Every structure is written in structure tokens, then in C-alpha cells.
Amino acid sequence: MSVVSINAADENIAKKICKFPYIIEAGSNYIKHKNFVIIENNINVYKVYNDINNFKECVYKFNWAHDNLINFLTPTIIDSFVFENKGILKLKFIKKKNNQNIIEMLDVFFNIMTTIKNIEKIPHPNFFKSYELQSEYEKIFKDKNLILTHGDLNHKNIFKTEDNKIVIIDWDNLSLQPQKLVEHTTALYFLSHPDFHNKNFPSILKIVLDKFKNVTINKLINLSEKKYEISVTHFSKNFWKNMAERIKLV
Ligand SMILES: Nc1ncnc2c1ncn2[C@@H]1O[C@H](COP(=O)(O)OP(=O)(O)O)[C@@H](O)[C@H]1O
Ligand SMILES: [Mg+2]
């Protein structure tokens, strides 16, 4: 499952803590932070954190989400503990529905963004001194108006269950970010669904621009190019480069 190779010591953690067969998901978070995810037999999910302070922050964020996101499902925390100097967050696995209607998800993305932004009980301010790659994004979005955001609203982190409940996972990047950055990122991540990488892209982009009134084509291109520049895997590098090209063609 992993897109990057993971070292033997980390792989051993999975062997020691899992009773059932498991798969390991390691991607850019492994390259950037040595963090990875173990999915045990579609029963448990273990998020493994290399930095204990970051682990504590993330446990707090998952708890905060579970307490405050009333209209959406968020993972239930089963346990959190330190094991071989890694922070481990054990979550209940939530099963994804097979055939998702992607266009219908546009409203879902927009509603989630708006709901989180409007939550009054904001998390502890200590956890919001900065957001990941802040200095890079500030080069494009100088907006002083900060809003609360999930921080990684993409179609892998938002999905529906068989009984059509909307699930939001991966709360590690919950943060205060410039409103314009949040709007452009949410629109761009919606557009990044693999189903849209075809000749219908211009019409999907038009629907997205109708929904996100503050989003402009130029800034979407700037953001894609920035993501290309800061990507740590070849896969994401190519992905964001192609995305910028696709938008430029419209
Ligand atoms: N509670 C969960 N239920 C089902 N699948 C999950 C759950 N948590 C994580 N996953 C799966 O593991 C993947 C990686 O987990 P995620 O929390 O998004 O970590 P990352 O920070 O690496 O993106 C997700 O894309 C999803 O497929
Ligand atoms: Mg994720």
C-alpha cells in the first residue's frame, strides 16, 4: 500500500501492535515527518507519530473534532499511548461506501468548510501558532482574516458510509489559516478528484467557481504551482504540475 518504503524498525511496530493482518500507508507524511498509518483488518487504524509533542497536539485535535462536529462522523478514539518512542493514536476504522457521487460531494466540501469555520468553541490557541508550510502559502495569500479549518479537506479524508453519513478523518492539520487560502485549497482539492481528469474538466471548474465565489482561476493556478514546488514525492509533483496546466487551458 505504501508509496514510499518504510524502514524495518517502523515496520516492526506494526508487527508488534497488530493482532490481525494489516496494511501500512506511508506517503509524504513519512518523508516529511516519519509518520505513517497502520490499518488493521478494517477494524482499527493506528496513526504513528514520530514527534511526541506533535502526537499530543493531534490527540487533542481528534478529541476536539469528535466533541464539536455534531453533524458529521469523525473517528472514535480507542486509545492513545507511547510505544518505542512513537506516539500511537488508535482509532475505530470507518467503512467507506463503494460508489460515491463525486459532484454531490461539492456541497459536502463547501458545507464542511463553512461548518468548521463557524464553530464557536475554537480549540486551544497554543495549537495554532502556525500551519504547515505557512511561509510558502503566505507568498500567495496575504489575507489577514484567519478562519478555523480542517487543513486537509481532500476526497481521501472526506467520504460517505454505506448508510450515507459523511465522515471526516485525518484531523492532524486542524488550524487557523487565511480564509482565501482555505477557500482556494478546498476548491482545488475538490477538483483534484481522479474522475475529473478528462475533457469535462472545464465544466466542473465552472461549477466549482459558481459555488466558491471568492475563488479565482489565477489563484488556483498559483496554488497548484506552489504545491508542485513544495511536493516531496514524484507522484504529487507530477499531479500538481498537470493540474496547473489543466486550469491554464480553461
Ligand atoms: N478512521 C478511519 N477509518 C477508515 N479509514 C481510515 C481511518 N483513518 C485513516 N484511514 C485510512 O488511512 C489513510 C491515511 O490516514 P490519514 O489519517 O488520512 O493519514 P495521513 O495524515 O497520512 O493522510 C486514509 O486516507 C484512509 O484511507
Ligand atoms: Mg489523509
- CA of 72 relative to ligand 2 center, distance in Å: 17
- CA of 169 relative to ligand 1 center, distance in Å: 6
Cβ(65) – ligand 1 distance below 6 Å: no
**For 213-237, what is the mean pLDDT?**
97
> pLDDT at residue 30 above 90?
yes
CA distances, 215 to each of 186, 202, 210, 246 (Å) = 10, 15, 9, 16
**For 34-44, what is the mean pLDDT?**
98
Report which ligand 1 atom has the smallest distance to the Cα of 27: 22
Instruction: Give me 91's grid cell.
Output: 482509532
> pLDDT at residue 129 above 80?
no
- Other beta carbons within 10 Å of 16: 8
Cα 33 → chain centroid? 15
Q: What is the pLDDT, as a whole number, of residue 4?
A: 84
Cβ(157) – ligand 1 distance below 6 Å: yes
Cβ(94) – ligand 1 distance below 6 Å: yes
Of the listed ligands, the closest to the CA of 36 is 1
What residue type is 236 in one-letter code?
Answer: S
Cα–Cα distance, 88 to 33 (Å, whole number): 14
Mean pLDDT score of the chain = 95
> pLDDT at residue 92 above 80?
yes
Single pTM value for the model: 0.95
**For 61-78, what is the mean pLDDT?**
96
Please give the share of the chain, as a percent, with pLDDT higher than 90: 87
**For 49-74, what is the mean pLDDT?**
96
Cα–Cα distance, 160 to 166 (Å, whole number): 5
Q: What is the pLDDT, as a whole number, of residue 166?
A: 97
Please give the share of the chain, as a percent, with pLDDT higher than 70: 99
Cα–Cα distance, 6 to 2 (Å, whole number): 8
pLDDT in tens, 195-213: 888 879 999 999 999 999 9
Cβ(59) – ligand 1 distance below 6 Å: no
- CA of 185 relative to ligand 2 center, distance in Å: 15
Q: What is the pLDDT, as a whole number, of residue 140?
A: 97
Cβ(169) – ligand 1 distance below 6 Å: yes
> pLDDT at residue 133 above 90?
yes
Query: Which residue's CA is the closest to the ligand 1 atom numbered 14?
Result: 37
Residues whose CB is less than 8 angstroms from the CB of residue 160 and which lie 6 or more positions away in sequence, other chains included: 96, 97, 100, 166, 167
